[in-house]
Amino acid sequence: MKKAFAIAGLVSVSLLTAACSESGSGAENGTVGISMPDKSLERWEKDGNNMVTELEGLGYDVDIQYAQGETQTQSEQIENMITKKVDALIIAPVDGSTLSDPVNLAANQDIPVIAYDRLIMNTENLDYYTTFDLVTVGEIQGQYIVDALDLDNTDESFNIELFGGAPDDNNARFFFEGAMNVMQPYMDEGQLVVQSGQVNFNAVATESWSASNAQTRMDNLLTGHYSDEDIDAVLAQNDAIAQGVVSSLVSMGYGSDSRPMPIITGQDAEVSSVNSIIDGNQTMTVFKDTTALAKAAASIVDAILTGEEPEVNDTESFDNNEKVIPTYLLDPIAVDVGNYQEILIDSGYIDSSDVE
Amino acid sequence: MQTQEAVKNSGLNKEENSIRNSAKKFLVNNSMYILLALIVILFQILTGGILLLPMNITNVILQKSYIFILTIGMLMLVLLGDIDLSVGLVLAFTGALSAVLIIENNMNVYLAIFICLLVGLLIGAWHGFWVAYVHVPAFIATLAGLLTFRGLTIVILDGQTISSYPRAFQLMSSGFLTDAFTDNPFMLTLGLGFIFVALYVFMSIRSRMKDLKFGTNTESNTRFILKITAFSLAILWMFYTFGNYEGIPNVLIILTKLGLAAKFITDRTTIGRHIYAIGGNEKAATLSGINTKRVKFWTFASMGVVSAIAGMVFSARLNAASAQAGSGFELDAIAACYIGGASTSGGIGTVVGALVGALVMALLNNGMSLTGVGTDWQMAIKGLVLLFAVAIDIYNKNKG
């Protein structure tokens, strides 16, 4: 008996603590359930908080839960939200191919489902999808290099090396595809030369997007292929890789007046990379405004629940094997030393005290 | 007069003492049921009545079916004084195997299920061989198994998630018994409930008659009747609840069959008594002529089969097999056994107790998720519940 009391006491105390930390707001327009993949990654927590702010601003109650990166936990949490009869669900899947059952269950209860950032596969009951255009990320990087070297107005040739993302990350292939869409014609004409000859995704992929792996590979490339030549551009597909590339180049004597830093791309607008851009090491980064993504998801939900037609801008690209999902695609933005102030700091995405 | 009163008093005291003792004994033996009841009441209030909705009860069974199944197998090993750390990854491996066979190679579903069960048996036998015949500690042998099968799962899946089983396979964990017969499952389900209760009462009375005949019974008549009534009502309520939603989940039938089989083995068979004996004192058991090696070997082998069943149920539920499945499941199953009153040194524990332990964990999870407690706090609270449940259990037993 003591045991039972002790445990009941313990549980209720913990619950009260947990309950108190959540803001109590009245559901005026209904409750929206949000299922996020993992709380231990800063990105998802930021996205989650953004959506909560947006939806509460629109007068909704929000039930947000994080799944520890486990597919089965996410299914359970979604089912529990359905049991609690939320009015709409926003799901950022841990693994998009494992959630067809919970989504079908939601459909049985007439709960609309929106996939966030990653597509949910193999169900006809997914209503909407909102994400960044992944191919565009790569295209922006490629185009930036083409413009920076002014390839359209010159016959000169330049040296470039390519750094793709993690080989087991499906998105990485889309990024690479986008960059190559833009740069391949210039490579074919000999205006962009990859001295190492490494141009296939598998050859240029960076294990787990890691800065140190990128640094090692860059060291090897510089030693092996650039003892006589200078490198003019590096396609680095995210900021961590760009940082590794920068470290390698600096240690090899780049960054002086006689040997300037090459054009280096990036992605994610990490604080350290923005500082690197200001210092003139990294050249640019691609910024995916997750606040805008959260806003897009919130306004789709709001439209559905108020009986309006949600705004979408792509009704043919995203097929989840059952049907084509109407999608609201957001365009990523190129950020360099010329516009970082306006886009990243004035918008409040990065605190000005972090970039000095 | 005075003496008479004194005598009366002392008699009363004795009676009071014996009542207090038997009450204490009752609490010690049934602490997990009390814990379960308290958790149900607590969350029924906190969730505003959602916890016991038919839909939610069905969800809890479906959500944690694989843990319930693993718990049944794990209890056998816990009774032996061993544990199996590899069950989560054996689950992942057999789930992945089923996906490769059924989805990628279009194999017949039933043939594939049979192959997976066979592979599960072989894996269990592999562990059993090292533990029973080579005397590698179970902790080490199954830790090695955990690493091996995590690796092999990634190998056969090539690191990918394979998804979309045919309907026939999915039905294993998302289907309902009544699907095939009728659109309105309520009457059929309730009818099955009455049949089940009738069977249960009949079996209980028969076994009680037998016990009385041999004079081995210790239960009083009132207690027997109370117990039967309580269980019958609980069973009827379950069926009533399922009937109000979609009917009886198929996976509950698998679970019930496994549970009854395990209960029969532990309670009624020689092997069962051997398992308890080995867990109680392995040397004594060996000396009294029990083939401890064989018992251990087959217990591990059956754990393999149980893991394979859980693996297929799990994959059918997600409708996909993924390389990251299964980690941490073994700990849930082990925790369930201990919360359900099993002893860490072996020899003590029951199938029903362990399942109640698993239900306690499942309802804690479900209740906290319904009330919006984050997974971070859920983990912390589950950890503390496990610790306190076992600590107080040990304290009570030592005192009593």
The predicted structure's pLDDT at residue B378: 84
Q: Taking the mean position of all CA atoms in its chain, how far away is CA B393?
A: 19
Report CB contact under 8 Å: B374, A10.
no
- Mutation target to probe the B interface, by most B beta carbons within 10 A, among A2, A23, A83 is A83
Shortest distance between the Cα of B291 and any Cα of chain A, in A, equals 38
Q: Cβ neighbours of residue A356 under 8 Å, at least 6 residues apart?
A: none
The predicted structure's pLDDT at residue B58: 86
Q: What fold, for A134-288? A: Rossmann fold (3.40.50)
For residues B58 and B248, what is the distance between their CA atoms, to the nearest angstrom?
8
Shortest distance between the Cα of A101 and any Cα of chain B, in A, equals 7
Q: Which residue of chain B has the CA closest to A104?
A: B174
Shortest distance between the Cα of B110 and any Cα of chain A, in A, equals 22
For residues A201 and B282, what is the distance between their CA atoms, to the nearest angstrom?
59
Report CB contact under 8 Å: A80, B59.
yes
Average pLDDT along chain B: 87
Residues of B in contact with A22 (CB under 8 A): 372
Nearest of A163, A245, A238 to residue A212 by alpha carbon? A245
Report CB contact under 8 Å: A80, B161.
no
Q: Is A6 buried (19+), middle (13-18) or exposed (0-12) by CB count in 10 A?
A: middle
Mean pLDDT of B46-58: 87
The tally of CA atoms less than 13 A away on the side-chain side of residue B145 is 34
Report CB contact under 8 Å: A66, B370.
no
Report CB contact under 8 Å: A122, B396.
no
A63-91 confidence digits (pLDDT tens): 999 988 888 899 999 999 999 999 999 99
Do A25-126+290-330 and A134-288 show the same overall fold?
yes
Q: Is B321 buried (19+), middle (13-18) or exposed (0-12) by CB count in 10 A?
A: buried
The tally of CA atoms less than 13 A away on the side-chain side of residue B381 is 30
SS (H, E, C) chain A: CHHHHHHHHHHHHHHHHHHHCCCCCCCCCCEEEEEECCCCCHHHHHHHHHHHHHHHHCCCEEEEEECCCCHHHHHHHHHHHHHCCCCEEEECCCCHHHCHHHHHHHHHCCCCEEEECCCCCCCCCCCEEEEECHHHHHHHHHHHHHHHCCHHHCCCCEEEEEECCCCCCHHHHHHHHHHHHHHHHHHHCCCEECCCCCCCHHHHCCHHHCHHHHHHHHHHHHHHHCCCCCCCEEEECCHHHHHHHHHHHHHCCCCCCCCCCCEECCECCCHHHHHHHHCCCCCEEEECCHHHHHHHHHHHHHHHHCCCCCCCCECCCCECCCCECCEEEECCEEEECCCHHHHHHCCCCCCHHHCC
Residue B61 has pLDDT above 50, yes or no: yes
Q: Which residue has the tokens 């390389």?
A: B323
Per-residue pLDDT of chain A (356 residues; tens, 9 = 90+): 455 555 555 555 555 444 444 434 445 689 999 999 888 777 788 899 999 999 999 999 999 999 888 888 999 999 999 999 999 999 999 888 889 889 999 999 999 999 998 889 889 999 999 999 888 999 999 999 999 999 999 989 999 999 998 876 778 888 999 999 999 999 999 999 999 999 998 889 887 788 888 988 998 898 888 988 899 999 999 999 999 999 999 888 898 888 899 999 999 898 889 999 999 999 999 999 888 999 999 999 999 999 999 999 999 888 888 999 999 999 899 999 999 999 999 988 888 888 86
Report CB contact under 8 Å: B369, A68.
no
Q: Cβ neighbours of residue A98 under 8 Å, at least 6 residues apart?
A: A71, A74, A75, B161, B163, B318, B319, B320, B322
Report CB contact under 8 Å: B369, A121.
no
Work out the angle between the directed axes of helices B329-339 and B65-80 (0-180°, nearest 10): 60
The tally of CA atoms less than 13 A away on the side-chain side of residue A185 is 9
For residues A258 and A264, what is the distance between their CA atoms, to the nearest angstrom?
18
For residues B4 and A347, what is the distance between their CA atoms, to the nearest angstrom?
92
Task: Phi first, then psi: give them for residue B109, nearest 5 degrees.
Answer: -60, -45
Q: Is B206 buried (19+), middle (13-18) or exposed (0-12) by CB count in 10 A?
A: exposed
Q: Which residue of chain A has the CA closest to B35?
A: A4
The predicted structure's pLDDT at residue A206: 87
Structure tokens at A114: 């929106």
* A96 in Cβ contact with A121 (< 8 Å): yes
Residues of A in contact with B171 (CB under 8 A): none
Residues 129-158 in B contacting A (C-alpha not used; CB under 8 Å)? none
* B250 in Cβ contact with B175 (< 8 Å): yes
Residues 53-82 in B contacting A (C-alpha not used; CB under 8 Å)? 53, 55-56, 59, 62-63
Dihedral (CA of B233, B235, B238, B239) sign: negative
A274-295 confidence digits (pLDDT tens): 999 999 999 999 999 888 999 9
Report CB contact under 8 Å: A15, B50.
no
Q: Is B161 on the interface with A (CB under 8 A)?
A: yes
* B343 in Cβ contact with B349 (< 8 Å): yes
For residues B6 and B17, what is the distance between their CA atoms, to the nearest angstrom?
16
**Residues of chain A that touch chain B, judged by Cβ-Cβ distance less than 8 Å:** 1-8, 10-12, 14-15, 18-19, 22, 39, 63, 65-73, 75-77, 79-80, 83-84, 95, 97-98, 100-101, 121-122, 168, 321
The predicted structure's pLDDT at residue A124: 92
The predicted structure's pLDDT at residue B183: 66
Q: How many CB atoms lie within 10 A of CB A2?
A: 11
The domain locations on chain B are: 182-247
For residues A30 and A45, what is the distance between their CA atoms, to the nearest angstrom?
23
Structure tokens at B396: 């009570």
* A90 in Cβ contact with A294 (< 8 Å): no
The predicted structure's pLDDT at residue A6: 55
Q: Is B314 on the interface with A (CB under 8 A)?
A: yes
For residues A65 and B79, what is the distance between their CA atoms, to the nearest angstrom?
37
Q: Cβ neighbours of residue A85 under 8 Å, at least 6 residues apart?
A: A31, A109, A111
The predicted structure's pLDDT at residue A24: 40
The domain locations on chain A are: 25-126+290-330, 134-288
Report CB contact under 8 Å: B34, A95.
no
Shortest distance between the Cα of B264 and any Cα of chain A, in A, equals 29
Dihedral (CA of A29, A31, A34, A40) sign: positive
Domain A25-126+290-330 has CATH 3.40.640.10: no
Between the alpha carbon of residue B132 and those of residues A38, A61, A277, B97, the distances in Å are 41, 57, 63, 27
Report CB contact under 8 Å: B369, A80.
yes
Residues of A in contact with B55 (CB under 8 A): 83
B189-243 confidence digits (pLDDT tens): 888 889 889 988 998 888 888 878 877 766 778 888 888 898 889 888 888 888 8
Of the candidates A3, A15, A168, the beta carbon closest to that of B31 is on A3
What is the value of pTM for the model shown? 0.75
Mean pLDDT of B155-177: 83
Residues of B in contact with A1 (CB under 8 A): 27, 31, 34
Report CB contact under 8 Å: B369, A77.
yes
Shortest distance between the Cα of A198 and any Cα of chain B, in A, equals 24
* A205 in Cβ contact with A165 (< 8 Å): yes
Q: In residues, how long is chain B?
A: 400
For residues A99 and A320, what is the distance between their CA atoms, to the nearest angstrom?
12
The predicted structure's pLDDT at residue B7: 47
B291-332 confidence digits (pLDDT tens): 999 999 999 999 999 999 999 999 998 888 887 788 889 999
pLDDT band at B398 (very low <50, low <70, confident <90, very high): confident
The predicted structure's pLDDT at residue A17: 47
SS (H, E, C) chain B: CHHHHHHHHHHHHHHHHHHHHHHHHHHHHCHHHHHHHHHHHHHHHHCCCCCCCHHHHHHHHHHCHHHHHHHHHHHHHHHHCCCCCCHHHHHHHHHHHHHHHHHHCCCCHHHHHHHHHHHHHHHHHHHHHHHHHCCCCHHHHHHHHHHHHHHHHHHHHCCCCEECCCHHHHHHHHCEHHHHCCCCHHHHHHHHHHHHHHHHHHHHHHHHHHHHHHCCCCCCHHHHHHHHHHHHHHHHHHHHHHHHCCCCEHHHHHHHHHHHHHHHHHHHCHHHHHHHHHHHCHHHHHHCCCCHHHHHHHHHHHHHHHHHHHHHHHHHHHCEECCCCCCCHHHHHHHHHHHCCCCCCCCCCCHHHHHHHHHHHHHHHHHHHHCCCCHHHHHHHHHHHHHHHHHHHHHHHHHC
ipTM above 0.85, yes or no: no
The predicted structure's pLDDT at residue A185: 95
For residues B127 and B77, what is the distance between their CA atoms, to the nearest angstrom?
12
